[in-house]
Structure 1
Amino acid sequence: MKKTIAIIVGGYTDEAPISLNSGKFVLKHLNKDEFDPYLVYIFRKTWFFKDENNIKYLVNRHNFTIRLSNNNILKFDCIFNAIHGSPGEDGIMQAYFDLLNIPYTGCNFHHSNLTFNKIYCLTLLKEYGINTATSFFLNQNQLFCEHQILDKVGLPCFVKPNKSGSSLGISKVYNKNQLLTSITNAFKQDEEILIESYLSGIELSVGVIAFNKNITVLPITEIISQNDFFDFESKYSGKSHEITPARISQKIENKMKHIAKQVCKILNLKGISRSEYIIVNETPFFLEINTVPGFSDKSIFPKQLQHAGYSLSNFLKEFIYYSIDKIK
């Protein structure tokens, strides 16, 4: 019997259009002989499914079911999470589905919340010896001294919202006069921000699959942004050049694979993830990790899968069945 799958898309942030692209890509590549998929929209004020006639059917949030026009009730065997940012990447939807005992793709709410919170994630990884940029943390209730910040992180530096994706709200600061404006802009995205030293080197994106106790590192991607850094425009408007496999030595590749597996084990991740690194004088520095990576035709992770020889349809099937089996 075919499995009924809800591909959840949308979300509460400006990443919603990116999420919709990912969801449609997953829908396209799911084997319809194996699965009966439905694109379910999750927005702050409404959760719904639209049929081929564009008729909306609301989700019953008490049990995540949908009553169709023929009075049939849609119940889902698994949720494919394609929501980037909140509430799909920060643990909110994961906790909800855990309460309902419905399987879902990706890691659980504890680890989703930890990895989405850059401050928590970096602090933990530092304890295990993972190299990270020098950083300064701020929340909206703190008084701060610009001199104290710059004395620690130097110039140029990056100002980032603590909990956001797709480089939303990130600024590169070149001089002291730009710092306050960048901090103000970052606080529009989140009540906590992270200020990091600039690292000059090769930027790499590393995709990882963690099914059961098997951790697989996909071919590594080198990122060359046409903009000042790998910002929102670079990611989604063709302003970057992505090279897979990356033009790195075997020594660095082996080092990256070891560190990527180490990070996956430290964070106890399940499913898929994509992390970003900067290589400085052959030393990798961890930047951040994404546990709901983009999954469209322009996204890095599916391209890495294809370079590794995976069929997208077969991989999605394996991912879904793994997600169903892990809660049994």
Structure 2
Amino acid sequence: MNKKNVAVVMGGYSEEYKVSLKSGQLIFDSLDRDLYNVYKVVILKDEWYFLDDRGQKGEIGKADFCVSLSSGFTVKFDVCFNIIHGKPGENGALQAYWDTIGQKYTGCDFYQSALTFNKKDTLAVLSKYGIPSAKSIYLRKGEDCDEANIIQELGLPLFVKPNQSGSSLGITKVKEQGELKNAMDFAFAEDDEILIESFLDGMEVSVGVLDYQGKTIVLGITEIVPHKEFFDYEAKYEGASEEITPARIDEATRIKVEEIAKKAYESLGMSGFSRSEFIIMKGIPYMLEMNTNPGFSPASILPQQAEIYGISIKDLCGNEVEKALKK
């Protein structure tokens, strides 16, 4: 049997690259060596490189995404397993490049990545499918804004967040008007566009959805109990939150959340791993955002959900590679 060459592509251009390296390691360790030759590829702002079995670095040819080894042998990848969080692997840039050079890859396509990385546009598209979200105001850097008007329209407390950024970086909960300006500056440091959203007072849940063996499945619903005001970067990655799977919700609410999460996934034409965040208020799930390359380190939500669902990480990862090979 001819083994396929799989590159686990990790890293990225944002602070999230540290999490991506852990996610990549889990996938690298989990892929079936009887079926695949597995390689590590790291993409950072200042260098793209390949790591061999001995930890030696090789250069990635950007024209064809191949690796020339010192032995004179060239490695061409049958599939790239994309597990970059944030740019350029979660905003469509890498997918567009791979499409251009004819490289197969896991996960969703260029358009879905670009769309879901943009919170405002995702929620606007999903509203056409009847999926509710918080009331919000969108601002570009340098645009005039009337603070009193914003507060009158959205009420307090409210959330200020970058429109395009991952891992809850740059988010502030604003409780009084005096805090709004600083919160906006903090969000604008991450992105040139921001969203100001009304506060939804309810339970936050994180829902893993993927297409597995030809079916869209909800892996699980995880309840997020932040030890702080909300689920920020520290709560996500530094243990300042409690994550309860399955979430403590009644059967009717569970079915509603599963239906909406599935509908969102299918309406956007998604493929591969996804994790959607919702706030359940008075029994109604309100969509916050969808992540197309969610954390996949051993401590992350998606692998925990898979374990409870009864799918091994090996099968979960193998399924992604097999789908990509058929593209």
**TM-score, structure 1 normalization:** 0.97
Matched, 1:45 2:46: yes
Query: More displaced, 82-91 or 37-46?
Result: 37-46
CA distance in 2: counterparts of 1:112 and 1:50, whole angstroms:
26
Residue-by-residue CA offset, 1:37-73 (whole Å, 9 max, x unaligned): 1111111221001234443211000000011110110
Partner secondary structure for residue 287 of structure 1: strand
Partner of 1:302: 303
Partner of 1:259: 260
Q: CA deviation at 1:150?
A: 1.1
Structure 2 unmatched runs, 5+: none
RMSD of Structure 2 on Structure 1 (CA): 1.1
Partner secondary structure for residue 220 of structure 2: coil
Query: More displaced, 280-289 or 36-45?
Result: 36-45
Partner secondary structure for residue 317 of structure 2: helix
Q: CA deviation at 1:317?
A: 0.9
Partner of 2:128: 127
Partner amino acid, structure 2, of 1:209: L
Q: CA deviation at 1:35?
A: 1.3
Are 1:208 and 1:260, in contact at CA under 8 Å, matched by a contact in 2? yes
Query: More displaced, 222-231 or 146-155?
Result: 146-155
Partner of 1:108: 109
CA distance in 2: counterparts of 1:297 and 1:232, whole angstroms:
17
Partner of 1:77: 78
Residue-by-residue CA offset, 1:270-324 (whole Å, 9 max, x unaligned): 1121101011011111110001111110000011111000111122111110111
CA distance in 2: counterparts of 1:129 and 1:314, whole angstroms:
34
Distance change in 2, residues 1:212/1:33 (3 Å): closer
Are 1:211 and 1:270, in contact at CA under 8 Å, matched by a contact in 2? no
Partner secondary structure for residue 301 of structure 1: helix
Partner amino acid, structure 2, of 1:200: D
Query: More displaced, 97-106 or 84-93?
Result: 97-106
Q: CA deviation at 1:131?
A: 0.9
Partner of 2:294: 293
Are 2:40 and 2:52, in contact at CA under 8 Å, matched by a contact in 1? no
Distance change in 2, residues 1:212/1:136 (3 Å): farther
Q: CA deviation at 1:25?
A: 0.8
CA distance in 1: counterparts of 2:223 and 2:265, whole angstroms:
20
CA distance in 1: counterparts of 2:76 and 2:241, whole angstroms:
41
Partner secondary structure for residue 142 of structure 1: coil
Give the length in aligned residue pairs: 326
Partner secondary structure for residue 149 of structure 1: helix
Partner amino acid, structure 1, of 2:113: S
Partner amino acid, structure 2, of 1:100: I
* Percentage of pairs with the same residue: 44
Partner of 2:170: 169
Q: CA deviation at 1:101?
A: 1.4
CA distance in 2: counterparts of 1:155 and 1:233, whole angstroms:
23
Matched, 1:152 2:153: yes
Q: CA deviation at 1:104?
A: 0.7
Residue-by-residue CA offset, 1:113-146 (whole Å, 9 max, x unaligned): 0011001001111122111001000001311111
CA distance in 1: counterparts of 2:56 and 2:274, whole angstroms:
34
Q: CA deviation at 1:232?
A: 0.5
Partner of 1:233: 234
Are 2:30 and 2:314, in contact at CA under 8 Å, matched by a contact in 1? yes
Partner amino acid, structure 2, of 1:45: D
Matches within 5 A, 1:315-326: 315-325=316-326
Partner secondary structure for residue 218 of structure 1: strand
Q: CA deviation at 1:211?
A: 4.6
Are 1:204 and 1:277, in contact at CA under 8 Å, matched by a contact in 2? yes
Residue-by-residue CA offset, 1:187-235 (whole Å, 9 max, x unaligned): 1100000011111111111111125752111121111111110010111
Partner of 1:68: 69
Partner secondary structure for residue 216 of structure 2: strand
CA distance in 1: counterparts of 2:54 and 2:303, whole angstroms:
30
Structure 1 stretches of at least 4 aligned residues deviating more than 6 Å after TM superposition: none
Partner secondary structure for residue 273 of structure 2: strand
Partner secondary structure for residue 196 of structure 1: strand
CA distance in 1: counterparts of 2:104 and 2:149, whole angstroms:
47
Are 2:213 and 2:319, in contact at CA under 8 Å, matched by a contact in 1? no
CA distance in 1: counterparts of 2:252 and 2:239, whole angstroms:
30
Are 1:211 and 1:322, in contact at CA under 8 Å, matched by a contact in 2? no
Partner secondary structure for residue 64 of structure 2: coil
Q: CA deviation at 1:152?
A: 1.5
Structure 1 unmatched runs, 5+: none
Partner of 1:7: 8
Partner of 1:97: 98
